Structures are given as structure tokens and as C-alpha cells.
Amino acid sequence: MLGKRRKMRRIMKNGRSVILPMDHGITQPEKGIEKVDRVVEDVQEYVDAIIVHKGIAKRSAVIADMEAGLIVHLSGSTIWAEDPNDKRIVTSVEKAISLGADGVSVHVNVGSKTEVNQIERLGEISEICDWYGIPLLAMMYPRGSIEVNTETVKHAARIGYELGADILKVPYTLRFEEVTAVCDVPVVIAGGSKGSEYELYRRVEDAMSRGAAGVAVGRNIFNSSRPSKVAKALHMIVHNNLRAEDVMEYEGNMVVG
């Protein structure tokens, strides 16, 4: 699949990637991405790919010219739904291709009431992606009554791998090497809710040392008062093997406590 390999190189640089998801607006409005183009212009030097929905991609004035890869997200749900974990497919692989996407992404909540439907759609979409030669990123999350731990994250990742995903996005967990050991495709960690920059960097450093291929960090970048600062720090950890302490010192922010 020459086309898929070429597109993967847009997203994964030497097997590693800093991905900026900005697909949150359907779930609920998020501070920092009211104007996605402003964020893209600020951080594009430090990210390898962005994830957005089709409406953002087709209306953007800057995405067409950015060097970073474009991943169009196919799933959606809102906080107002009876079951917010019920992710539905809201666009097609073909539409993403027409927008110039280098890849597509699908969200699956393992353990949710509608898990079986989400898994079914992931399997179908992976075959469509293979047909068109476009990479598929699967966001695999333990949800519902399932606790997020090494075993559940490992199982969620393995489901995405078994169903044909080319890149996996999963929550960070301790003993992350057990997660990467069961998937011979790139596994990136999710950034999660906005929190301490230092703790984020520590998680990323640890995950990278245990086989992760990078990060897919959204809120911790676009919710920041200085998105480019966080994106650059993540780039340095992922691509230059810097430690969290090195990055904080480089930025002139000494950690206290």
C-alpha cells in the first residue's frame, strides 16, 4: 500500500509523532479552539499532524498550506446525549479524502453500552481505509463501568490493532510497555484533561521510554495561555528524547516541590 505508507510519513516522522486533536467542539465547546486557525498558525512548527472535523477542514484558511498532516475525525457525540459514550459516524472516508486528508480517525469507547456497534463500524472503516490507502487512527478508550488501568488499556489497544487500525491513541497508564508489546503499530498516548505541564511532560517521557510512538494532546495545548510553548516541549521530548526536567529548565520554569 504505497499510498498509505506515503501518508503515514506525513503523520509519523521517523516513527514518532506529536498530534494535536481539535475535534472536541462537537462534544462541547472548548476554550482555546474558538478559532482553530489561530492555534494551527501558532503551533504548526512543532506538531506533526492535527485532527479536526470536516467542517473545520473545509472552512480553514490555513490548513491547506500547513506542513503538518491532516487527519479528519469521523466520530461524534455530545454531552447532551442520553449516552455521551455512544460515538456515531458523522462523515465518510471518501469525504475526508476529498478534503485532502492524510488520515482519518475513529473513536471507540470500549465497555460502553454501544461498544459492539462502535467496534463494528471500526472494522468496516478500516477496510475502506485499506481500499483507498489512507491511514486510520483509532482512539481506543476504556469507558463506562470499566476502570482505566494497564489491563483495560492493553485490551482496548489490542481491539483497535486486531480490527486494522494503523495508529492507536490510548490513555496513558503505568507499565505502558505492556500496551505497546501487544501492538506492532504506533501507539500514542492521549493528553487527557488540562493539568500540570510538568506532569504531562513526565507522563510523555515515561510513555516514550516504554515504547510509545508519541502523543495526541489537545486540551493541554489549546487550553494553554501559550500553546506553542507546550507543543514545542512535547516535540522536544518525543523527537529529541529530552527529559521533562530538561524541557522545564529550557523554558526557564523551575519546578518547585
Domain ranges, ordered by start, for the chain = 2-250
Look at the chain and count its residues.
257
Q: Report the predicted TM-score, pTM, of the whole model to 2 decimal places.
A: 0.95
Please confirm, yes or no, whether 23 is among the known catalytic residues: yes
Please confirm, yes or no, whether 201 is among the known catalytic residues: no
Cβ atoms of 65 and 100 closer than 8 Å: no
Secondary element (H or E) of residue 49: strand 49-52
The span from the CA of 46 to the CA of 235, in Å, is 6
The span from the CA of 136 to the CA of 105, in Å, is 6
Report the pLDDT value the prediction gives residue 252, as an integer from 0 to 100: 67
The span from the CA of 156 to the CA of 176, in Å, is 13
The span from the CA of 153 to the CA of 149, in Å, is 6
Catalytic residue among 46, 141, 161, 201: 141
Q: What is the pLDDT along the chain (257 residues), one digit of tens a residue?
A: 788 999 999 999 999 999 999 999 999 989 999 999 999 999 999 999 999 999 999 999 999 999 999 999 999 999 999 999 999 999 999 999 999 999 999 999 999 999 999 999 999 999 999 999 999 999 999 998 899 999 999 999 999 999 999 999 999 999 999 999 999 999 999 998 778 999 999 999 999 999 999 999 999 999 999 999 999 999 999 999 999 999 998 776 534 33
Catalytic residue among 169, 172, 201, 229: 169
Alpha helical stretches, state H, the chain: 2-11, 36-43, 54-59, 93-98, 115-132, 150-162, 177-180, 197-209, 219-222, 227-240, 244-250
Report the pLDDT value the prediction gives residue 3, as an integer from 0 to 100: 87
Please confirm, yes or no, whether 141 is among the known catalytic residues: yes
Report the pLDDT value the prediction gives residue 222, as an integer from 0 to 100: 96
Q: Would you call 14 exposed, middle or buried from its count of C-beta atoms within 10 A (0-12, 13-18, 19+)?
A: exposed
CATH code for 2-250? 3.20.20.70
